[in-house]
Amino acid sequence: GAVVSQHPSWVICKSGTSVKIECRSLDFQATTMFWYRQFPKQSLMLMATSNEGSKATYEQGVEKDKFLINHASLTLSTLTVTSAHPEDSSFYICSAPGTGPGELFFGEGSRLTVL
Amino acid sequence: GQNIDQPTEMTATEGAIVQINCTYQTSGFNGLFWYQQHAGEAPTFLSYNVLDGLEEKGRFSSFLSRSKGYSYLLLKELQMKDSASYLCAVQGGANNLFFGTGTRLTVIP
Instruction: Please indicate whether, in this complex, the C-beta atoms of A43 and B42 are within 8 angstroms of each other.
Output: no
Higher pLDDT, A44 or B95: A44
Q: Are B35 and B46 in contact (CB under 8 A)?
A: yes
Q: What is the pLDDT of residues A6-25, one digit of tens each?
A: 999 999 999 999 999 999 99
Give A29 to chain B, closest Cα distance, Å: 16
- Which of A43, A101, A107 has the CB atom closest to B101's CB atom? A43
Q: CA–CA separation, A63 vs A61, rounded Å?
A: 6
Instruction: Please indicate whether, in this complex, the C-beta atoms of B30 and A106 are within 8 angstroms of each other.
Output: no
A110 touches chain B (CB under 8 A): no
Average pLDDT of chain B, as a whole number: 92
- Which of A26-35, A54-63, B25-34, B94-103 is the least confident region? B94-103
Question: Quick check: helix, strand or coil at residue A87?
Answer: helix
Q: What is the pLDDT of residues A68-103, one digit of tens each?
A: 999 989 999 999 999 999 999 999 999 998 877 777
A108 touches chain B (CB under 8 A): yes
- The set of residues, in sequence order, having a beta carbon less than 8 Å from that of A28 and lying 6+ positions away, is A3, A75, A96, A98, A99
- Which of B31, B33, B102 has the CB atom closest to A43's CB atom? B102
Q: What is the pLDDT of residues A41-77, one digit of tens each?
A: 788 899 999 999 889 999 989 999 999 999 989 999 9
Judged against a pLDDT cut of 70, whether residue A35 lies above it is answered with yes
B45 chain-A contacts, CB cut-off 8 A: 104
Judged against a pLDDT cut of 80, whether residue A2 lies above it is answered with no
Judged against a pLDDT cut of 80, whether residue B96 lies above it is answered with no
Q: CA–CA separation, B61 vs B63, rounded Å?
A: 7
pLDDT at B40 (0 to 100):
79
- CA nearest to B21, candidates B58, B67, B96, B75: B75
Judged against a pLDDT cut of 70, whether residue A110 lies above it is answered with yes
- Which of A32, A41, A107 has the CB atom closest to B42's CB atom? A107
Question: Quick check: helix, strand or coil at residue A86?
Answer: helix
Q: What is the pLDDT of residues B10-39, one digit of tens each?
A: 999 999 999 999 999 988 888 999 999 988
What mean pLDDT comes out for the span B79-107? 90
